[in-house]
A and B are shown apart, each in its own frame.
Chain A
Amino acid sequence: MARDATSSLPPQDVSGAAPSWAAGRSLRGASENRLGERVIRGLLMFCGLLSVATTFAIVAVLIGETARFFAEVSPIDFFTGTEWAPTFTPAKFGVLPLLVGTLQIALIAICISIPIGLASAIYLSMYAPERVRSILKPALEVLAGIPTVVYGYFALTFITPNIVQRIFEDARVFNALSAGIAVGIMTIPMVSSLSEDAIQAVPRSLRDGALALGATKFEVSTKVMVPAALSGIMASIILAFSRAIGETMIVALAAGATPKFTFNPLESIQTMTGFIVQISLGDTPRGTLEYKTLFAVGFTLFLLTLMMNTLSLWLTSKFREEYE
């Protein structure tokens, strides 16, 4: 079981040590203060700050239009109403059907991606010989690189007729289950990759100790390694959930466009992202209520995923401290 030491870290991990001379101001001679050098330094800093500006712009645009939306629609109706019909007269602005639709898709998705992703992570980190692992791991990651519109096509033309409607005859052509399964498949590599990294990060002595006490490999996996890596595994699951909430093209193609307050996965539904796509496909001039509705729904979506991502980052940092 020789291990590949360069197993990939989560992409957030960019906080490395700066080169030794970046901190040492004493090395800076007069040439460092030449005009050209200062201009270049300023330009580079501008590039870095542009990413901060992006965040501010996102928040500003979302809050600005959302505030204008709430000037016309009561926030209480928005967050507690169970009817969503913004383009009808009289218009109904209860976001709950979209929220329930979104969470339904995300729950179905993690019901697929947790068992399969976690089982792959355990197989790859505890059982697979190095050669097998070096083939299977990149193959799994291909799943994450496929454009989501392709999964949408697959859900609509393959999963719905060949799987879902075979098992449940009363399932609609557009249904939450097919879309949820496709989103689940898409998020498998996220769970498997990050969970595998978390399991790899458990000190070897724990595994060797349990094996030496006579535990079988399965017992070591489920009673020692997985519990020790639990916060990292949880973080990967939350990230997959957050990704599923924000997923757009699969649900726009396969889940339908009927905002319905239902918990039946065989029904046609609509998610927050699905609504944004539906409205965007039409013409929405700035200043109309429809335009503002886009941003109010987008802001709700943004807050939801921000909460999930922050929770996931927090879990990961907690987990790092334990073994450093």
Chain B
Amino acid sequence: MSVVRTAFSNTGNLPRRKLVGRIFFGLFLTATLLAIGVLFVLGWDIISDGGSWLNRNFIQSFPSRRPEIAGIRPALIGTIWIMLLTAAFAFPIGVGAAIYLEEYSGKGWISRIIELNISNLAGVPSIVYGLLGLGVFVEVMRLGPSILAGALTMTLLILPIVIIASREAIRAVPDSLRQAALALGGTRWEATKSHVLPAAMPGILTGTILALSRAIGETAPLIVVGAVTYANFSPSGLDSVFTVLPLQIFDWSSRPQDDFQRIAAAAIIVLLALLMTMNLAAILLRNRFRKNQNW
């Protein structure tokens, strides 16, 4: 501890050291508040730009070359399609992988490889998933730039998040529940299906909703897969070309006219409202889970 002694033992300059401490406390607090402040500036900027453009017509209309009659209908419907399809793919696969890792695999080499792999996948830039989707789903599987190719790409993107969240929820289920089921003669799958999964389900759903909210905010992979920036029709099926809200926002923001930037802001308000609703649902689910938890 000699370093500490030479650093702190000189008490002659205590008032100065206390002053330095107070100054830096001020700096630390200012930096923290600055970061939070950005959040308010961002919110204010978007609402003041786009708030007055937001109305029923804006939600129900198709995009147009004239900003005053343009709307987000195809983009909003595209986002909902992508969200539902991605959930339909990512939920069973993610939960299945989590069950395998937590309940079946033990600590063998397979689970070690899968684990390492998942933590690596979580760090791959989202646009690289777009290239994967373009190479595999669009070209090799010949799905074209369709909603299905987009949703499959998004599935791979959020799968690591769903698996990690589901594993945490499954691990939180006490062992006694499993052992009770096994002691009564249940098989491993029966114990998992009837006891572990129901107990872990609120946690799994919370994690899945949060992962989906990540997916509907993503733009880059879908651009690479071939989603269009201008669609004057709503998607009609799995093989339909499509656009999504963030892509519509990107397109309008990148135009030089002020009015297009305003409707981009209005579309941002819709996107953020959707995200906030999903996050709120996740928080409510988690809180209900905590209240009912009796172990």
Chain A residues in contact with chain B, CB under 8 A? Answer: 11-12, 14-16, 18-23, 27-28, 31-32, 34, 36-37, 40-41, 43-52, 54-55, 57-58, 61-62, 64-65, 115-117, 119-120, 122-124, 127, 136, 139-140, 142-143, 145-150, 152-154, 156-158, 185, 188, 192, 209-210, 213-219, 221-224, 239, 242, 245-249, 252-253, 273, 276-277, 280-281, 286, 294-295, 298, 301-302, 305-306, 309-310, 313
Contact = CB atoms under 8 A, between A and B. Distances in A.
A317 B5 CA distance: 30
Contact of A122 (B18, B28, B35, B114): B28
A61 B279 CA distance: 35
Given A15-B115, A156-B253, 11 more contacts: A11-B161, A14-B167, A31-B185, A51-B121, A55-B120, A119-B28, A124-B32, A149-B268, A216-B18, A246-B127, A301-B128
Nearest to A120: B32
Contact of B31 (A21, A120, A310): A120
A119 B125 contact: no
Contacts of B250: 149, 152, 249, 252-253
Nearest to B23: A218
A48 B41 contact: no
A44 B41 CA distance: 47
Contacts of A154: 42, 45-46
Which 10 residue pairs spanning A and B have beta carbons closest together? A246-B125, A147-B217, A47-B96, A119-B31, A61-B135, A218-B21, A44-B100, A248-B220, A309-B123, A123-B28
Contact of A213 (B8, B97, B226, B268): B8
B202 interface: no
B126 interface: yes
Given A22-B104, A153-B264, A273 B127 contact: yes
Interface string B135-179: 110010000000000000000100111011001100100010011
A123 B30 CA distance: 10
Given A119-B28, A123-B31, A305-B125, A51 B114 contact: yes
Interface residues of B, number: 109
A216 B21 CA distance: 7
A215 B4 contact: yes
Given A149-B249, A153-B46, A302-B125, A44 B96 contact: yes
Contacts of A150: 42, 46, 217, 249, 268, 271-272
Contacts of A313: 119
A248 B182 contact: no
Contacts of A40: 189
Given A14-B168, A41-B104, A249-B220, A215 B7 contact: yes
A117 B35 CA distance: 8
Nearest to A54: B156
A120 B114 contact: no
Given A51-B117, A52-B113, A246 B128 contact: yes
B246 A11 contact: no
Given A21-B182, A213-B5, A294-B131, A139 B39 contact: yes
Contacts, number: 313
Contacts of B28: 119-120, 122-123, 127
A169 to B, nearest CB: 20
Contacts of B4: 209-210, 213, 215, 223-224
A49 B118 CA distance: 10
Contact of B121 (A55, A145, A286): A55
B127 A153 contact: no
A321 B123 CA distance: 23
Nearest to A149: B246
Contact of B220 (A123, A145, A223, A277): A277
Interface of B: 1, 4-5, 7-9, 11, 17-18, 20-21, 24-25, 27-32, 34-36, 38-39, 41-42, 45-46, 49, 92-97, 99-107, 110-111, 113-115, 117-132, 134-136, 139, 156, 159-161, 163-164, 167-168, 171, 175, 178-179, 182, 185, 187-189, 213-214, 217-220, 223-224, 226, 229, 246, 249-250, 253-254, 261, 264-265, 268, 271-272, 275, 279
Given A120-B35, A123-B31, A146-B42, A47 B223 contact: no
B32 A281 contact: no
B102 A143 contact: no
B160 to A, nearest CB: 7
A58 B159 CA distance: 14
B20 to A, nearest CB: 6
A19 B220 contact: no
Q: Which of A16, A62, A218, A273 has the most CB of B within 10 A?
A: A218
Contacts of A123: 25, 28-29, 31-32
Contacts of A239: 123
A107 B161 CA distance: 27
Contacts of B93: 47, 50
Contacts of B92: 47
A242 B124 CA distance: 9
Nearest to B174: A19
A299 to B, nearest CB: 9
A22 B106 contact: yes
Nearest to A150: B268
Q: Which of B97, B106, B128, B187 has the most CB of A within 10 A?
A: B128
A102 to B, nearest CB: 11
